[in-house]
Structure 1
């Protein structure tokens, strides 16, 4: 018999708030974390803005030992360790130095690219013939699984500890991988999430592709405009989100706080065929992913109360809405309420899915739907399919029972997860 899976812990390092309390307040109040970055101007970027979590030196000392901080130069690892450790503590789980690992707990924590600044530092030292000055942590900071390795050591997990990578779909995919492991009875709990580095060496490639907005450098908070007629491209961001998934029986046994239940989901690919490409989704694959998630969750399309979309603030936003209307067979007033977090924090790349999953779960738990900032002018193409009130501009206080969260990534890969309010 398949296990029921619930969420018992949350952690986040987001451009508009580090820590769950600060983050929830920010999304309820429509606070933007997008700022101007002078370094990007110095380097002649067209888009000189981005979303970056604010982490002080004092904050770092709460999560890393002096030895770990020596030579630490990977923003993704910093954000991932903060969010992952916070989620573990939020779940009421101890962090101890016992000799035996926790055999029932594992980690699936994804990333897209890790340790870019450390790589740059290493290249300069190697080219200068100073390889011995690299330090002993250059490998762990630059290998993709560095984030799960850091967290595995801090938390002492003895079950599966690994890293996944599927572009913008990474965080949502990690959650579903952890869900499946618990559901199959292979683990009692899994820390899942994802992180992303920030800065010019991560964001430069996107600037070169001319898919970032270049006319909002003097108005950074207005730049990210999902579902808006004036959307001009996605704003790059960074950070990390983390969730503790747990077997319901285990959670109840230890009296854990339960945020929500994971009913199921789907992951697929459009194969970069039939309109799908390295950067664009195959529409049929997206619709299949949505319908597959509903089938696995044993949910009727009419039961979806809310959608937290991928919705990056590009011309593809209207296409995403069209795919939702077709997959759910619901439109106009019958369509669920929909929002996008990217208006507040930009597109956090490999961290986007996990941060947005945290925001989705908070909405279910605390009976609100955050507003879509910078969407004063909804795209007319979208309004042909759904009514304006389905795109709330300000936070709504309402109970939501079932929420669908989607992520669609480069490489034509898709993931949809279905969350239910726990009662």
Structure 2
């Protein structure tokens, strides 16, 4: 018999708020974390705006010792450590100070690419024949699994410590991978999440693809426009989100606060067949992912009352809504409430799924559905499928019972997870 899995800790390092308190308030009031980036202007980027967490220097001293800070130049790792350690603390868990690791505790923390700035710094030093100045921490800062290795060592975890990487689907996929390991009895506690680097060497490729908005450099807060008729492309972002998943038995034993229950979900791929490609989703696979997530969670499609979509502020937003409607067989006023946080934080790439999972779960605690910003002019291809009233433009009081969160990433990969309001009654 599989174990019930719950969420007992949350942490976030987002463009519009570092820490749960600030992030939650930002989502509630619709505060944007998208800002003009002078470095992008200097480098002649067409899109000179992005979402990036604002980290004060003195904050780093709370998470890293002086030795770790020496030569540290990997923004994604910094964001991941802050979010991960905050989630661990939020769950009421202690850092292991013993010689023996926590055998039943693990880390599954994903990323798309890590330590780009550190890698560039190292390349220049090697090319200048100054290899001795590359630094002994370069490998840890630039290997993809550096983030999970960092957190696993800081916490002393002895179960699986690994990194997943599935483009924009990474964070949501990680939640499901952690859920499966705990439900199968292979671990009791897993810290999961994902992070993404900041900067021109990450965002430059997207600017070159001309899929970012170019006409909002003087008005960054209005640039990311999910579900809007005037959407002109996604705004790149960065940061990290983290969640502590735990068996219900372990959580009860510790007397831990429980945010929500994870009922399961689905991970699949469209195989880049049909209309699917490296950058476009295969609708057949997206619908199959949603339907199977509902089935695997053991619920009916009618039970879902809130959706947190992928919804990146591109022409594919209308297609995503159509896929949700077809998969759930719900439309017009029967459709669940739906929101996208990308209007406030941009598209945080590999970190998107985990940051948005944190935001979606906070809606249980707040008894609210957070509003969508920058979609006063809803795309008519969307409102022809679902009622405009199901897309709240401001935060509304509502007590969700079941939230579906999905992410769809480059490579035609998909993940959908079902969260349930926790009820301790039999």
Which band: TM-score by shorter chain? over 0.9
1-structure distance, mates of 2:368, 2:60: 31
Query: Counterparts of 2:307 and 2:221 in 1: how far apart (Å)?
Result: 23
Query: Which stretch shifts more, 89-98 or 334-343?
Result: 89-98
- TM (norm. structure 1) is 1.00
Q: d(CA) in 1 for partners of 2:365 and 2:44?
A: 44
Q: Specify the alignment match of 2:181 in structure 1.
A: 181
Superposition CA RMSD, Å: 0.5
Q: Secondary structure at the match of 2:312?
A: coil
**After superposition, what is the alpha-carbon deviation per residue over 1:200-258, rounded to whole angstroms, capped at 9, x for unaligned?**
00000000000000000000000000000000000000000000000001000110000
The answer to whether the 8 Å contact 2:309/2:338 transfers is yes
In 2, Cα distance between the equivalents of 1:283 and 1:4? 31
Deviations 1:189-208, CA, capped at 9 Å, x for gaps: 10000000010000000000
Residues 159-179 of structure 1, C-alpha deviations (whole Å, 9 max, x = no match): 000000000000000110000
Whether 2:149 is the aligned partner of 1:145: answer no
Q: Which residue of 2 aligns with 1:318?
A: 318
The within-5 A match list for 1:13-412 is 13-412=13-412
Secondary structure of the residue aligned to 2:11 is strand
Alpha-carbon distance in structure 2 between the residues aligned to 1:53 and 1:15: 4
Runs of 4+ aligned residues of structure 1 deviating over 3 Å after TM superposition are none
Give the 3-state SS of the residue equivalent to 2:85 in structure 1.
Answer: helix
Pairing 1:403-422 to 2, within 5 Å after superposition: 403-422=403-422
Q: How many angstroms does 1:135 deviate by?
A: 1.1
CA–CA separation in structure 2 for the residues paired with 1:98 and 1:244: 21
1:365: Cα distance to partner?
Answer: 2.4
Aligned-partner Cα distance in 2 for 1:393–1:191:
33
Which secondary structure state, in structure 2, belongs to the residue aligned with residue 101 of structure 1?
A: coil
Residues 117-171 of structure 1: per-residue CA shift (max 9 Å, x gap): 0010000000001111111100000000000010011100000000000000000
Equivalent-residue separation in structure 2 for 1:58 and 1:102 (angstroms): 30
* SS of aligned partner of 1:268: strand
> Could you tell me how far apart the structure 2 residues matched to 1:274 and 1:373 are?
33
Equivalent position SS for 1:314: coil
Q: CA deviation at 1:40?
A: 0.3
Q: Give the Cα–Cα distance (whole angstroms) in 1 for the partners of residues 422 and 77 of structure 2.
A: 31
Shift of 1:397: 1.0
Q: Distance in 2 between matches of 1:330 and 1:96?
A: 48
Which 5+ residue runs of structure 2 have no aligned equivalent?
Answer: none
Whole-angstrom CA distance in 1 between matches of 2:30 and 2:128 = 48
Whole-Å separation in 2 of the counterparts to 1:125 and 1:107 = 33
Q: TM-score, normalised by structure 2?
A: 0.99
| Cα distance in 2 between the residues matched to 1:216 and 1:62 | 36
2:96–2:102 CA contact under 8 A, matched in 1: no
Conserved 8 A contact 2:101-2:156:
yes
Distance (whole Å) between structure 2 residues aligned to residue 194 and residue 414 of structure 1: 16
Matched with 2:12 is: 12
Alignment partners' CA distance in 2, 1:125 and 1:391: 51
